[in-house]
Structure 1
């Protein structure tokens, strides 16, 4: 008889790739669409790796992203898994709720209308 070799399982059972779920991606792409309509953004990129999923929004395609929205599940129990990172790399907002992290970007869409 032959020898049965067990299928190797990941030690920590961590996902191979971190991604956005449908509700999160809908919220982010809704904001992106409104920023495109307002003329602020023109391009985006998504990077889904082992530690983080990142959505980057660009003013133009050939420069650094104006904002990066990062999801890091490893920070869920600490300071929150969501982070809004500015163009210079500084963390502008961090939290447990995506809506609260996106609030500074959504404030840019508010315009004062005079009577």
Structure 2
């Protein structure tokens, strides 16, 4: 009987993975915290892949994300490195500066007082 060792899983090196930096996460979590306090959002998820980093925002844990904040360095010279996508995948805002792109959520925080 021959024992076959398990096949190692090829993990990409840290240089190949796109991820959010500390300052970027600070901006994103600031907006996220305000929306959680307002009762709009409840959960989030972060994914770091080879060509994109994604911060997904959920209304409820078991649902699909209502918003995705993406960082794609390959689009730096074209449309912009950051994008906010809606639930259906439509691009709500795209740009080179994260704080400007996140302003799309400011209009959602303004509510009329009854």
Quickly name the TM-score band, shorter chain normalised. 0.7 to 0.9
TM-score calculated relative to the size of structure 2: 0.83
Query: Does structure 2 conserve the Cα–Cα contact (< 8 Å) formed by 1:18 and 1:53?
Result: yes
Query: Is 2:21 the partner of 1:28?
Result: no
Q: In the alignment, which residue of structure 2 is the partner of 1:54?
A: 54
TM-score calculated relative to the size of structure 1: 0.82
CA deviation profile, 1:49-105 (whole Å, cap 9, x unmatched): 000000000000111111000000000011101000000011111111111211111
Aligned-CA RMSD value: 1.5
Alignment of 1:34-113 (within 5 A): 34-113=34-113
- Runs of 4+ aligned structure 1 residues displaced above 6 Å come to none
Query: Does structure 2 conserve the Cα–Cα contact (< 8 Å) formed by 1:83 and 1:93?
Result: yes
Unmatched tracts of structure 2, length 5 or more: 1-13
- Pairwise CA distance, 1:34: 0.6
1:107 is paired with a residue whose SS is helix
